Amino acid sequence: MKKLCKNINETKDFADKILSLAHKKALKNDKATVVALSGDLGSGKTAMVKILGEKCGVKGRMPSPTFVIEKRYRVKKGLPWEKLIHIDAYRLDKESEIIRLGWNENISNKKNIIFIEWPENVKKIIPQNAIWVTFSHKGETERLIETK
């Protein structure tokens, strides 16, 4: 899927498609559902996680986990997940750093949905069946968002 999003409403519509894809994967997975978000600084990764969190029923603010690396949230009932885990791997240099933060436990629980920004920094541990979402600047307010 690919979409040039010109405003927040178009981004929210595309978030529905990402969530639908994640839901389908969750029904087939015996482990956590992973959504890897890649793109330049300011391209919309954190904004997309906040939108997806809102759609999953996360209450309150969802600040970027840049400095703490990982944040956890409860999701609403009726979804295949119980926890949303938001990871920012920007400051990580190698996979062992994220493993020390509990990656193996997080990934082994099928009731988790994990959104990871800067997945290219820890690419070796991203599951093959992860949903990859790439963000590109296409103007001051426009973003090209692609999923694989």
- Give the tens place of pLDDT for each residue, 94-133: 899 999 999 999 999 999 999 999 999 999 999 999 999 9
Alpha-carbon gap, residue 84 to 6, rounded angstroms: 27
- Which residue, 92, 93, 75, is CA-closest to 84? 75
The ranges assigned to domains in the chain are 2-147
CATH number, domain 2-147, options 2.40.37.20, 3.40.50.300, 1.25.40.10, 3.50.50.60: 3.40.50.300
Alpha-carbon gap, residue 49 to 44, rounded angstroms: 9
The pLDDT tens digits of the residues spanning 16-48 come to: 999 999 999 999 989 999 999 999 998 999 999
| Average predicted confidence (pLDDT) for the chain | 93
pLDDT of 64 higher than 90? no
Its pTM stands at: 0.94
Q: 26 near 80, Cβ under 8 Å?
A: yes
Residue 40 has which token pair?
Answer: 């330049």
Exposed e or buried b per residue across 6-29, where buried means at least 16 C-beta atoms within 10 angstroms of its C-beta: eeeeebeebbeebbebbeebbeee
Read off the pLDDT band of 65 (50, 70, 90).
confident
